[in-house]
Amino acid sequence: MHERSIVQKLDLDGYIQRFTHFLAREKPVAMEGDINQHHRYIQALSKVQFPLPKPVPNLDRELNIIQKQGVLALEEIYAFVTICAYFNKLRSQDFPEPLGSWIAQIEIPGEIMQILGYFTEEGEINPEKDETLFGVEKALKHTRSEIKETLYRLARSAKLQDYLVDTQVHFHAGEETLLVRGGFNHAIKATVVGRSSGGFFYIIPQSVTHLKEKEAALLSNRSEIIWRYCKEISAVFHTWERFLTFINKAYDRFDHYQARVSFARANEYEFILPDKHKGVVLHDFAHPAIENPVPVTLAMEKPVLLVTGVNAGGKTMLLKSLLSAVYMSKYLLPFKCDAARTRVGHYRHMEAVIDDPQSVKNDISTFAGRMKEFARLFEMRDAIVGVDEIELGTDSDEAASLFRVMLEALKERGIHFVVTTHHKRLASLMAADDDVELVAALYDEERRVPTYTFLQGSIGKSYAFETAQRYGVPPAIVNKARQAYGEDKENLNELIEKSTTLEHQMRQKIAQIEEERKTIEKQKQKMLDEEEKRKEQHRKLLATLENRYNAATKKAREALKAKESTEGRRLLNEAHKRKSSTPKTQQPPKEPLKEGDKIKYRSHKGELLSIRGKDATIIVDGLKMRVPLGELKKREETPKLKTVQKPKKATHHVEKSGGAVSVKLLGMYADEAIETVDKFLSDALVNGLNEVQIIHGTGSGVLAKMVTDYLKHHPKIQKFYRMPGNLGITVVEL
């Protein structure tokens, strides 16, 4: 009911109806399972041509009959035959991966393959497969031909000419008859089977009666043969009941895929996979309910999108477009857009507060109805909500304050809003919030018509007087209304719009300056690091040269010991003097270090813990070490510039988890399941648990594989295995 309501509110009912025409059988629009896997299969199917499935009915009742060893009717058996024959045909196609592997795994059992050969394209048992049935069909055909020939012969006989209404054979109540006038019994013996509106009689001549009896006997014989086939085939189906249940679901799954691909091809639509990041970015989006739409290009990247501007300028349709894109993306329904530049976030819930909820029957006013709808939102999380004309039904000033507080509280619950309003007070109050994006519906003042385009970052005028005149209100009335409204009020509204726009522009510039400041700080730090790196290289180079000098002088002394030389010793002493007198780079006087200073030791950053003589104890990357005090340098912290942004108050409360021993992932998407498992294992490690259980179920095996891949790379897992007797649970030893 809720899905149907959302579809109607967003004007998507016609779109959904057109989509369902591509389905082989009626079913809900939503697909069960991993949406990412569905998207990969749809993308693979979009690359090739494929045979379309034949229409088949829902077979849940028939599967129940098979399970209870009942006997199916021939047309019910043929429905299963149609499904199996279709998958057999698909197996001969060359599909891209991963679709090809999935189709290849669906292998039709040999007994069911034999049953496929029993049927004709029309869904009847093939007489050529059974001699008895072939004989009955041949005799039945001959008998029916005799009946027709006899009737046509009587219709042209001279003795009946005076009583026949016409010379045609009439079908009445399923019987072939002649239409005659009263008194026909003087010319022919016959049975009356009905009367026409003109008072004539439908008769079956006695000469045809025995042929009809023969036909009835043959039909009865044929029914017995068909019943025997139905009984035998139903027994085989009972043996393969699980396979038939599986292939029936697989048929629905492939039907979902082919319908979406065929629908997209027929309308040149694109598929958009929901993004795990929230927000909606539309580029050249066209709502399917509009025949010649103005393409929408808009980014909703903040929790609240506030739409203001001209009446009848497309604000409501913009709201419906954003929510429609979320709905269609959520169920992998294609739509018209620039897919390369369109991004739609995934939301668990969706609400549209659009209609006037006033009800005389239930004694609910417009505003009271709106409050009931908003009250339900406080029970939700992870939702996107569209609210049209948010101030509807109450005082504008009171509504502005009330809705501002409610929207701030609800967005803390992970709820995003698309809101349309004419109240500049609400827009001006919320414009100062960093989580609010302003959008104005634009108006062409020269032509005096809305443009159905939008400008982000500003508040728009409602143009109520212009709209009234455009829709036929006399100009004299409109001018009088302008005078009553007052020039001062109009000027005040313009000032509110300008001040809000200027504030928004100022905040954007402040944010831009802050980004530039951060970039400069990064560049400065990079230069300081580069300078320190070069100093370190210089120090290492000097140490290397000194080592080489010492090694050379050592060898020289050894040579002199072997052969005494006064001149050699003089030259060696001269080299020592030159080394001692080598000019060193003058360093600025160092500021004395003290305990607690942030220091730099070679290329490492750390903190000075204590000083003892010429040695110091420091901590670097969590390790304590004693180093020469002279090799330490005080590290200067980069001063942070003050920003103009208003400080935000934030309160955090951290609780230690209770440490559950098991977690359920059933029904979760892949990314949601990974986050849940990661948090669960962290809590278990914090609480010192040695063994936990992850319940992922069997199903299609996607969650089980995802859990296995994740546990293989977790550094704190000692061992994990599936629970014996229940492959839907993985036991993890920490």
Phi-psi region of 219 (alpha: psi -120 to 50; beta: other; left: phi over 0): alpha
458 vs 113, which has greater pLDDT?
A: 113
**pLDDT for res 573:** 64
**pLDDT for res 1:** 55
pLDDT at 643 over 60: no
540 vs 505, which has greater pLDDT?
A: 540
336 vs 423, which has greater pLDDT?
A: 336
**pLDDT for res 471:** 58
**pLDDT for res 248:** 95
233 vs 563, which has greater pLDDT?
A: 233
Query: Which range among 400-409, 449-458, 661-670, 703-712 shows the weakest confidence by mean pLDDT?
Result: 449-458
Rg (CA), the chain: 43
- Rounded Cα–Cα distance for residues 427 and 429 (Å): 5
**Token pair of 709 as six digits:** 């891949």
DSSP 50-116: -PPPPP----HHHHHHHHTT----HHHHHHHHHHHHHHHHHTTS-PPTTHHHHHHH-PPPHHHHHHH
- Rounded Cα–Cα distance for residues 135 and 130 (Å): 9
Query: Which range among 199-203, 465-469, 689-693 shows the weakest confidence by mean pLDDT?
Result: 465-469
**pLDDT for res 256:** 96
Query: Which range among 19-33, 140-154, 417-431, 667-681 shows the weakest confidence by mean pLDDT?
Result: 417-431
- Provide the H-helix boundaries in 345-395: 366-377
Phi-psi region of 249 (alpha: psi -120 to 50; beta: other; left: phi over 0): alpha
**pLDDT for res 79:** 95
pLDDT band, residue 567 (cuts 50/70/90): low
Query: Which letter, b or e, does each residue of 468-492 get, where b requires 16 or more Cβ atoms within 10 Å of its Cβ?
Result: bbeeeeeeeebeeeeeeeeeeeeee
Instruction: Give the mean model confidence (pLDDT) for residues 510-525.
Output: 85
DSSP state of 345: B
SS3 string, 711-728, reads HHCCCCCCEEEEECCEEE
| Most confident of the following: 80-84, 407-411, 454-458 | 80-84
Predicted TM-score of the model (pTM): 0.60
**Contact of 113 with 234, CB cutoff 8 Å:** no
pLDDT at 88 over 90: yes
Return the closest-CA partner of residue 21 out of 68, 46, 55, 50: 55
pLDDT at 329 over 80: yes
What is the maximum alpha-carbon separation in the chain? 167
Would you call 493 helix, strand, or coil by DSSP? helix
pLDDT at 644 over 50: no
**pLDDT for res 641:** 45
Would you call 150 helix, strand, or coil by DSSP? helix
- Rounded Cα–Cα distance for residues 600 and 631 (Å): 9
**pLDDT for res 536:** 85
AA letter at 375: A
| CA dihedral sign, ordered 203, 206, 208, 212 | positive
Describe the crossing of helices 2-9 and 13-20 by its angle, rounded to 10 degrees: 110
**pLDDT for res 156:** 85
**pLDDT for res 85:** 94
CB within 8 Å of 507: residues ≥ 6 apart: 434
208 vs 60, which has greater pLDDT?
A: 60
Instruction: Give the mean model confidence (pLDDT) for residues 653-679.
Output: 74
Instruction: Give the mean model confidence (pLDDT) for residues 280-286.
Output: 92
**Contact of 609 with 597, CB cutoff 8 Å:** no
Query: Which range among 176-190, 549-563, 645-659 shows the weakest confidence by mean pLDDT?
Result: 645-659
166 vs 391, which has greater pLDDT?
A: 166
Instruction: Give the mean model confidence (pLDDT) for residues 616-637.
Output: 79
Q: How many CB atoms lie under 10 A from the CB of residue 29? A: 20
Q: Which residue has the tokens 């739609």?
A: 344
CB within 8 Å of 424: residues ≥ 6 apart: 308, 459, 493, 496, 497, 500
pLDDT band, residue 283 (cuts 50/70/90): very high
- Rounded Cα–Cα distance for residues 42 and 103 (Å): 13
**Token pair of 87 as six digits:** 């998958």
